Amino acid sequence: MSKDEAKSQEATISDLSELKTIQDELINRGDGKYVQPLKPHDEKYIKKQISRDMAICLVFVYKHYRYSENIKPTDYFSKKVLLQYLKSFRNITRNFHKLKYWDLICPMPTSPTEIIYKRGWYGLTENGIAFVQKEIGLPKYAFIWNDFAYEHQTNPYVMITDLINEDELEELLKP
């Protein structure tokens, strides 16, 4: 879709019911692929824990956004670019995509009118920035089914300094 086509599809929505109708239409167009489905009662969640390796990856994503020139907070990059300084540490980067379960990164949308994401491309969220800056804590565990986080165990909460030592974090955050 060209920029002109996308502009011709832009509209200002002032009525809440119209917005709801458009949202429902977009969700239906995605055929459920990117929309969180209802979990069947007989299915079990997979319990995932936020790890030190994931926190290290998040710090490098944060550094990319903070220290690179001409980058806006709304930009998206490939995993390869975001984690370019960790490419020789495959064991650290293999769970990078799971940061989305805590809303620390988000996949890149590819269509203004449909729910479709570009595989392997991510952006940094406000929660990701706040977590690295030690402004918020996160639930330690997320309960996953079908690649969606359905619940979080709110106790215990972790701060980034629980995952990465304070001195090491300061060293990692240097440009």
Interatomic CA distance for residues 83 and 28, integer angstroms: 34
Interatomic CA distance for residues 39 and 45, integer angstroms: 9
Contact criterion met (CB below 8 Å) for 123 and 105 = yes
Greatest mean pLDDT range, 22-26, 42-46, 166-170: 166-170
Average pLDDT over residues 45-51: 93
Interatomic CA distance for residues 43 and 143, integer angstroms: 12
Tell me: the pLDDT tens digits for 86-108? 887 888 888 899 999 999 999 88
Poorest-pLDDT segment among 10-14, 35-39, 140-144: 10-14
Average pLDDT over residues 54-60: 93
- Say what the pLDDT of residue 168 is: 92
10 Å CB burial of residue 28 (0-12, 13-18, 19+) is: exposed
Average pLDDT over residues 41-66: 91
- Say what the pLDDT of residue 47 is: 94
- Say what the pLDDT of residue 91 is: 82
More confident residue, 44 or 115: 44
Interatomic CA distance for residues 9 and 94, integer angstroms: 38
Across the chain, mean pLDDT equals: 83
- Cα 161 to chain center, whole Å? 20
Q: Letter for the amino acid at 51?
A: S
Contact criterion met (CB below 8 Å) for 90 and 57 = no
- Say what the pLDDT of residue 6 is: 46
- Say what the pLDDT of residue 40 is: 76
Q: Which two tokens stand for residue 31?
A: 């055929």
pLDDT above 70 as % of the chain: 83
